[in-house]
């Protein structure tokens, strides 16, 4: 088997292991399930052993598969490091760079910086992926992620990018109709826009009790912003996504003096896995965006 073909099959095998199924691996790699199945079968035939036990419910690594996958992962990491070293000698970062971030961060912070980055590094194939929830970088084959809030995964390297203060905001139209709350106790008399399926985001960092009861929710921060702009109520939003709205008077801050700051929800990091060499592509991207982000 050609080296290129073997490497592709090995990468498919690792994706199956990380994703938990053939179908999930196919989705993550954007290929057909049949191609995934053929790649694993080819490896098992060549190695003359079973790497994965397949049942109708789940996949399980055999002991041979576990040992083989561990060494394959290390080998592919070394190969990637060798390629990156060669690119570094040439002085020009090249190849694909997949960056994950929440939709509002991509729209309001990264998109304005993309033209300058692409002009400076034309050989990097930049892919921006919007995820509202924290993802597994390996499973999603993602090189770098922008995380808002405290970090939980100890396997990640992190580059601190800054802080983004939180503000309770509303549109001038809403405040004209409903009045401006003078203290946190007044919040229960107002329409609150919150987050669906993320109860921790509906605990506002107020000096007094900050648990709110939203009457309108969304899983998307950008949708919450748009609802706020449309005069549908008060929302707690990060400054990185509303700084232009505040500057132009589209949104107004209220109860700012009652918000506890600094707090962990303000933290912004760029993260990548520790077992991955910091490629020249990742370095180039971080060094380009870090000084230009609108963060404190």
Can you tell me the distance from the alpha carbon of 173 to that of 141, in angstroms, rounded to the nearest whole number?
Answer: 44
The predicted model scores a pTM of 0.73
Contacts of 181 (CB under 8 A, 6+ apart): 187, 189, 190, 234, 254, 255
Report which of 126, 136, 132, 140 is spatially closest to residue 102, judged by C-alpha positions: 132
Domains plus CATH for the chain? 3-88 (1.10.10.10), 92-163+266-289 (3.40.190.10), 166-260 (3.40.190.10)
pLDDT at residue 89 in the model: 58
**Could you tell me which residue, 29 or 4, shows the higher pLDDT?**
29
pLDDT at residue 2 in the model: 46
pLDDT tens per residue, range 98-119: 999 999 999 999 999 999 999 9
Average pLDDT over residues 167-171: 98
Can you tell me the distance from the alpha carbon of 231 to that of 238, in angstroms, rounded to the nearest whole number?
Answer: 18
The lowest-confidence range among 43-47, 208-212, 248-252 is 208-212
For residue 280, CA distances in Å to 43, 68, 165 come to: 32, 29, 31
pLDDT at residue 14 in the model: 87
Percentages of the chain per state (helix, strand, coil), in multiples of 5: 45, 20, 30
């Amino acid at each position: 088997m050609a080296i290129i073909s073997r490497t592709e099959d090995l990468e498919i095998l690792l994706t199956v292991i990380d994703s938990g199924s053939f179908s999930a691996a196919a989705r993550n790699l954007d290929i057909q399930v049949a191609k995934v199945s053929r790649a694993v079968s080819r490896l098992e035939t060549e190695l003359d052993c079973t790497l994965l036990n397949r049942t109708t419910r789940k996949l399980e690594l055999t002991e041979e598969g576990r040992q083989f996958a561990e060494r394959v992962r290390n080998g592919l990491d070394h190969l990637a490091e060798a390629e990156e070293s060669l690119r570094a000698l040439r002085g020009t970062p090249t190849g694909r760079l997949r960056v994950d971030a929440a939709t509002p961060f991509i729209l309001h912070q990264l998109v304005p910086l993309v033209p300058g980055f692409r002009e400076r590094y034309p050989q990097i194939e930049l892919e921006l992926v919007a995820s509202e929830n924290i993802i597994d970088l390996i499973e999603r084959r993602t090189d770098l992620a922008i995380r808002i809030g405290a970090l939980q995964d100890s396997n990640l390297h992190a580059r601190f990018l800054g802080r983004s203060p939180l503000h309770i905001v509303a549109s001038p139209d809403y405040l004209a109709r409903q009045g401006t709350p003078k203290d946190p106790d007044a919040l229960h008399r107002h329409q609150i826009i919150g987050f669906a399926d993320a109860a921790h985001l509906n605990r506002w960092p107020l000096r007094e009790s900050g648990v709110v009861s939203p009457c309108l929710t969304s899983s998307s921060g950008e949708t919450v912003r748009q609802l706020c702009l449309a005069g549908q109520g008060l929302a707690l939003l990060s400054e990185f996504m509303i700084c232009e709205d505040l500057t132009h008077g589209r949104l107004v801050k209220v109860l700012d003096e009652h918000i506890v700051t600094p707090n962990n929800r303000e933290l912004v990091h760029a993260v990548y896995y520790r077992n991955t060499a910091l490629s020249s592509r990742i370095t180039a991207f971080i060094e380009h965006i870090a000084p230009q982000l609108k963060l404190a």
